[in-house]
Amino acid sequence: MSAVVEVQNLSKHFKNVKAVDDVTFSVEENTIYGLLGRNGAGKTTVMQLLTGQDFASSGDIRVFGESPVENARVLQNISFIKESQKYPDEFQPKHVFRSAPWFFPNWDSAFAERLIDDFRLPLNRRIKKLSRGQLSAIGVIVGLASRAPLTFFDEPYLGLDAVARQIFYDRLLEDYGEHPRTVILSTHLIDEVSNLLEHVLVIDEGRIIIDEEAEALRGSATTVVGTRAAVDAFTAPREVLHSEYLGGLASVTVGRLSPGERVEAAEAGLELSPVSLQQLVVRRTNVSQKEFEQSA
């Protein structure tokens, strides 16, 4: 495996906001990454910096070994249709798909046509008159059919119905299997995509707080349920990520448990259940929020 993206001490400051704050990470080739985080966490800014659409305040970005800023050799291998992508007002979807192959050397028009059918996208309607979901569908189709070695999807599902979202996930996996590439997917619907992701980056307040293999992350937390006394006794020596109490019952989330610890828990009459990626992200981003408030 080799790194397609290498970011070191990257920061981007707007007037009063540190949108990206001293971030270091790398992205391996031919892997699907999830870039997760709350609204305003810095996801889009990171992607704009990686694609040379915005300029870093400080730090170093290498994409395919080179700086992406004004670098045609790098950018030609990138597809990044962001959630708020603007299209020329007078354009119809057909103009987008007519011009896309000029820009993306790997463009597959048969695949694009199939996706247009899948999403039932009207080709001869002005962009201004499209619904939010149809607008998102254009971005999804361009992102998939361009088959760029490094493809970004920035909240691609916005306004898409459940069926269309499922089509997106299915087509992405299918095509990824046949044409491996590096995909960075930013999303709020973490549970929906959690099976898709191979690696997870969680960004909060402009900082990367989780950078882990999705597989490792899935087992990295467990919820312990049982009577309050038994749960507290079991979880006392551990770091508690989250706790909920209801009468005499308790539900407490802790970190990874070893097989021995699992046996111990079972003997104490406790129930163990895995924590979903979404819950994990919610818990972790809440914790960092509190820490931030305390330090402020």
Partner 1 sequence: MSTVTGIGTEPLEPAVPRAARAAGRILPVFRLQFVNRWGTFVIPWLIMAFIFVVNFAVWVIVIANLSSPEARADAQSGLQFSGASFYIFVYLAVFASQAIAFTFPFALGYSTTRRDYYLGTALAFLAMAALYAVALTVLSMLETATGGWGVGGQMFSAVYFGGPDAPWWVRLFIFFSSFVFFLFAGSTVAAVYMRWRNNGMLIFFAAAALLVLGLVALVTFTNSWPLVGEWFVANGAAGVAVWLFAPTVLSALAGYLVLSRATPKN
| Interface ranges with partner 1 (CB under 8 A) | 2-4, 29-30, 48, 51-55, 64-66, 70-82, 84-92, 95, 98-100, 102-106, 147-149, 179-181
Do 113 and 139 touch, CB atoms closer than 8 A?
no
Nearer to partner 1, 54 or 205 (CB): 54
To the nearest whole angstrom, how small is the minimum distance from the Cβ of residue 35 to partner 1? 17
Burial of 226 (0-12, 13-18, 19+ CB in 10 A): buried
Burial of 106 (0-12, 13-18, 19+ CB in 10 A): middle
Q: What is the SS3 assignment for 140?
A: helix
| Measured distance CA(235)–CA(255) in Å, rounded | 10
Candidates 153, 3, 147, 118; CA nearest to 66 is 3
Nearer to partner 1, 53 or 243 (CB): 53
To the nearest whole angstrom, how small is the minimum distance from the Cβ of residue 209 to partner 1? 24
Q: Greatest CA span in the chain, whole angstroms? A: 68
Nearer to partner 1, 182 or 235 (CB): 182
To the nearest whole angstrom, how small is the minimum distance from the Cβ of residue 294 to partner 1? 32
To the nearest whole angstrom, how small is the minimum distance from the Cβ of residue 12 to partner 1? 11
Nearer to partner 1, 80 or 111 (CB): 80
